[in-house]
Structure 1
């Protein structure tokens, strides 16, 4: 999936409200998520395939994005596998993060699952706050780099792990902290419908040969609350894939969330929570751009 310096975007075109296309933005410098949010035209060259898993080739035809969709459909994802916790290069940052999440730094990855029904689209699709989350005012954000697996992986070595990566995108691991902290398992508190928006584009491993060089920020209503380099992950991308593939088949389309840095709402004083009308952005640079989500209450 080597492109023109951009990624692949899955979208509804302006020319047809019932069509879904795969393509690459013509302007490699555009942040697709921000541009669409600001009402700017984003011109895309269409690909012959109907999925990022089999994108085909450039067709020489063009259209303009009306609505961005998640790079993968619900039916393509299977399961969403998630890794907990980051580490930091400086001792003070490490201590702050350990304190905010009230957990020890793990020696092996902490893993939980989200169902495929948790997959969500970028703005303009609304991101829904469940009734349960509204009642306790414990909605929280987690800005994350997401890995998409491109071919069947099982018992993968760390040395060969990158061979199985299709590409990378941005994700928000939307959580209900009241449920999370009152249960030993996290699948319920993080698995509500739409609680895993991803996007706006999927960038190939050829474009990002070393994901540790990416930087991540999380912004709530334009205020920066998370800011960290991917090089501060406790477990690198190859280590994560090796671990998750132990005696376990990772099918093409599997999405892996790699963890979130410090700055989540429950670790702040006063706490930050997500409420209807809030806009949260996950920015990963270079190449991936900004995943924008605006929250609405479930009714």
Structure 2
């Protein structure tokens, strides 16, 4: 039950962080947003390392660095897709991929959730698929192939991030996240330098970038704790329900319309959480 609660909270905060990240990329270069959000997350987690139990080890840092590289690539592709596509299409498309990959990995590794929880996982996957559909946007030509391809690739990166963080030792504390953020910050910064992209944020975008970075790290902490207490099949699919909060913010802040299928998907997401919690 604790893992379910942590993963559900993680999803809500991930979705809010992605909303702010998407807004930031409309005012600043994508790589600038990625580097700054990753650096903000690193600065947030470093003071917490001595406050929580856990010790650094080669395994903890190694899995964290690998997760950070995958997650950093996923963030860069995701923000790029958000900047050029429709938020209510891109975010759920990414989530569909990022949810399916850990579920397949968990089952392949021998995880077997209880029947009711497994039903909840299936419902959750269906929910993510439903909220990813935006027929109106597709007919209007807004759901271009480029942003959709970037969204799918980012989903693979996020899915790998979920899988790799599940592998860290239970006594590692927050050290894997420190390694992950250090790796993603350095990689994104090196890419920005190699391509000659400036890292200066656009006018008025720094508070939005700060919010995205802080919220993303908080969500990562919640996911790590959830993964240490629950099955990958369960916690990863719950964390991947984050488009629900992204969609609701896009609806009420940006005025993007939700289709009937998306609304049904949000309802299914709530039902999935209830089923998994009951299982």
Q: TM-score range by the shorter chain?
A: under 0.3
Normalized per residue, the structure richer in strand is 1
Normalized per residue, the structure richer in helix is 2
TM-score of the pair, normalised by structure 1: 0.26
TM-score of the pair, normalised by structure 2: 0.28
Greater relative contact order (Cα 8 A, min sep 6): structure 1 or 2? 2
